[in-house]
Amino acid sequence: GLPERVTIYEVGARDGLQNESGTVPVGVKVEFLDRLAAAGLRVLEATSFVHPRWVPQLADATELLAALHRADGVDYPVLVPNERGLDRALHAGVAHVAIFASATETFARRNLNRSLDEQFAMFEPVVRRAVEEGLRVRGYVSMCFGDPWEGAVAPAQVAAASRRLVEMGCEQISLGDTIGVGTPGHVDAVLDACATDGTGVDRLAVHFHDTYGQALSNTLAALRRGVTTVDASAGGLGGCPYAESATGNLATEDLVWMLDGLGIEHGVHLPTLVDTSVWMAQMLGRPSPSRVVRALADP
Ligand code: HMG
Ligand code: MG
């Protein structure tokens, strides 16, 4: 069966904008988040408290949080890699943080400057302190469906990384297809491995990049398995600067179109969201890659 309702975890302002070659002014980011809230999205990942040299596009995280208009009932999680990031996020008054682990050794080194084991050692005190401070904590696992340097990634390896994050105290695990190579049968295999290893589907979210055009079919496979939180990015913005060949996330509009067709509730007003992505595309100087945005935008 399919769920009656899906929570869309919108990552456009973070995963989308972290990969832009130009810097987006903080005022444009604030307006983007305001418009996403006005379109009905209730979870908006706002930015990352990472090292500003590693991701200069999000170096304005403190400024952004200070300028943000927090809409009623909207959750604004942020990425934090380490204790320094958590300090900065706490100072900015956040209520929800996400750590981001890699399922593979190579990407842990490339993205976090840590080995696979060292990354968990880095996250452990972050999660502990965040929970003590009353924050909600999400854990990402990247490269769950393939790694550009290592190739195939065993589902059991993904499940083991997920379990470690749950044991640390993460309330939700987002399984990332960072480079967009997965297909629906592979989604089943990864969800099976997680279930076998003790991470139930109720804790899982999916995070698909659309590099090979599989993001929507992969999402449907996950929904059929009982996943009810889906990450998406308005207009299909996105990518990871430390992952070769990563392109945009599943476009939120494409997801909403499919959910509407399936009669699954999501709370988003599609025309308002499309207008937002058209506006953002103008700000960025190139058209949205989302098929639904292209189909619905005024000519
Ligand atoms: P490092 O160089 O090993 O850092 O980087 P360090 O711990 O050795 O510290 C070096 C200096 O940086 C110190 O300063 C720290 O204070 C400072 P010093 O004492 O030398 O003056 N520093 C910081 N400053 C500000 N904020 C911080 C911070 N941390 C240290 N948070 C580090 C390690 C983790 C910091 C670095 O590798 C990093 O920032 N990586 C982030 C990479 C990133 O953001 N990637 C994109 C997000 S992941 C993604 O997109 C995938 C996802 O979408 C899911 C999917 O698609 O699969 C989530
Ligand atoms: Mg991503």
pLDDT for 234-269, tens place per residue? 999 987 677 766 789 999 999 999 999 999 999 999
36-68: pLDDT as tens digits? 999 999 999 999 999 999 999 999 999 999 999
1-43: pLDDT as tens digits? 999 999 999 999 999 999 888 889 999 999 999 999 999 999 9
Q: Please check the confidence at residue 299 and state whether its pLDDT lies above 80.
A: no
Confidence of residue 73 (pLDDT cuts 50, 70, 90): very high
The pTM (predicted TM-score) of the whole model is 0.98
Closest atom of ligand 1 to 98 CA is 58
- Is the C-beta atom of 14 inside 6 A of ligand 1? no
Range 262-285 average pLDDT: 97
CA distances from 258 to 7, 46, 111 (A): 14, 25, 32
CA 299 to centroid of ligand 2, rounded, Å: 30
- Is the C-beta atom of 289 inside 6 A of ligand 1? no
pLDDT the model gives residue 57: 95
Sheet holding 47-48, edge to edge: 43-44, 7-10, 229-232, 204-208, 172-177, 136-142, 96-102, 78-79, 47-48
pLDDT the model gives residue 245: 65
Catalytic residues: 240
CA 178 to centroid of ligand 2, rounded, Å: 5
Residue 49 and residue 47: Cα distance in Å, rounded? Answer: 7
Confidence of residue 84 (pLDDT cuts 50, 70, 90): very high
201-230: pLDDT as tens digits? 999 999 999 999 999 999 999 999 999 999
Residue 88 and residue 161: Cα distance in Å, rounded? Answer: 26
Range 67-85 average pLDDT: 98
The backbone torsions φ and ψ at residue 161, rounded to the nearest 5 degrees and listed phi first, read: -65, -40
- Say what percent of the chain tops pLDDT 90: 93
Residue whose CB lies within 8 A of the most ligand 1 atoms, among 9, 50, 107, 231, for a mutation test: 50
**Bridge partners, 98 (sequence order):** 79, 138
- Is the C-beta atom of 10 inside 6 A of ligand 1? no
CA 207 to centroid of ligand 2, rounded, Å: 7
pLDDT the model gives residue 22: 80
Q: Lowest mean pLDDT: which of 21-25, 116-120, 184-188, 192-196?
A: 21-25
- Is the C-beta atom of 112 inside 6 A of ligand 1? yes
Confidence of residue 112 (pLDDT cuts 50, 70, 90): very high
Closest atom of ligand 1 to 246 CA is 56
- Is the C-beta atom of 62 inside 6 A of ligand 1? no
